[in-house]
Amino acid sequence: MEDNFYIIIIDDNLKNNAPLIVRMMILAKKENVRLYRKVDDALKFIMDNLEEKMIVIMDCKFDNGSEQGIQGLKEIREKTSLISVIMMSANQLNQMDNDDLAEMINADNIYFISNDNLHDAEKYVMQIRERWTTKVDCVLEQWVTSQNKSLRDKPYMITSEGVKSLNDLLKDIRNRTPIGLEIESGIIHSAVGLLTNKAKK
């Protein structure tokens, strides 16, 4: 499984030696587990490093004047649907604000745990890592980011929207644009075609 990834934990009450953080440092490289007290500080790192694989574990409610977790989720989803977000709350789902609950339910690639449920946090991180190796858009994203950075801005493909670089394609993939979805669909059809041709031989 992919092991070079970040786990971004956003919570204003967790201590650096909290069980959640200690456990995440076992699942990922210690230096790649980052704790942020404020949503906006974490968002800066996330947005500046979108080429990196990452899992975000974020509290729903903050008391330190930071943006709330739901707003952070909105901002992440405005940029990409591929980053997996695990939302934490001390409250049960039926105790949450209806608008906040609707935001989470309607978001792509999101999980929900209670603040003290270390088992589910670990389980979801493992599930997400498995998805990176099997989900077409994740595999495609991984291939693009593995290419030489100096080549990613050069023209790569002619599309209905004009010439696209690998970075352009990556942006389309992350934002699930029509071109991004078209590329993903083309890869699936090509793979099915290869399997069909092999079966006929």
From first to last of its 201 residues, the chain has per-residue pLDDT tens of 556 899 999 998 889 999 999 999 999 999 999 999 999 999 999 998 887 889 999 988 777 666 788 888 888 888 887 788 998 887 655 455 555 555 555 455 788 888 888 999 999 999 999 888 777 777 777 788 788 888 888 999 888 888 999 888 877 877 778 888 888 788 777 877 776 776 665
- DSSP assignment of 159-188: ETTEEEEHHHHHHHHHHT-HHHHHHHHHHH
Asked: is 6-134 a CATH 3.40.50.2300 domain? The reply is yes
Cβ atoms 34, 26 nearer than 8 A: no
Which pLDDT belongs to residue 106? 47
Q: What tokens were used for 49? A: 């490093």
Cβ atoms 158, 150 nearer than 8 A: no
Instruction: Report the C-alpha gap between 190 and 173 in whole angstroms.
Output: 17
Cβ atoms 26, 58 nearer than 8 A: no
Output DSSP code: residue 28. Answer: S
What is the pTM assigned to this prediction? 0.71
Radius of gyration of the chain (CA): 19
Of the candidates 134, 132, 168, the residue with the CA atom closest to the CA atom of residue 52 = 132
Sequence spans of domains, the chain: 6-134, 137-200
